[in-house]
Amino acid sequence: MPAQSSNVQAVDMATNPPSDATARHCRAVAAQRSADGIYMGMDDDAQKQEYDLTYADCMTWETASGR
């Protein structure tokens, strides 16, 4: 599936750190996506990659959205 473009701009998290609530939310979202991978039969490496990518995408989106 081709990557979809987004209007979200990258945010420098060093100068604009996310809130603890945002980090907790993104960890929960990433954990759920990783758990979906278990259900779909993904191996451990694929589950870790899914978690990492989902967490990074969530943090970028949430931080860029001012949350």
pTM over 0.85: no
> What is the tally of structural domains in the chain?
1
The whole domain housing 29 covers 20-62
Q: Is residue 15 part of a domain?
A: no
Is the pLDDT score of 19 beyond 90? no
Q: What is the pLDDT of residues 41-62, one digit of tens each?
A: 999 999 999 999 999 999 999 9
Task: Please indicate, yes or no, if residue 9 is contained in any of the structural domains.
Answer: no
Residue 11 — φ and ψ, nearest 5°? -120, 135
Report the C-alpha gap between 34 and 45 in whole angstroms.
Answer: 10
pLDDT band at 67 (very low <50, low <70, confident <90, very high): low
The whole-angstrom separation of Cα 51 and Cα 12 is: 21
| 46 within domain boundaries | yes
Q: Tell me the angle at which helices 20-39 and 44-64 cross, rounded to the nearest 10 degrees.
A: 150
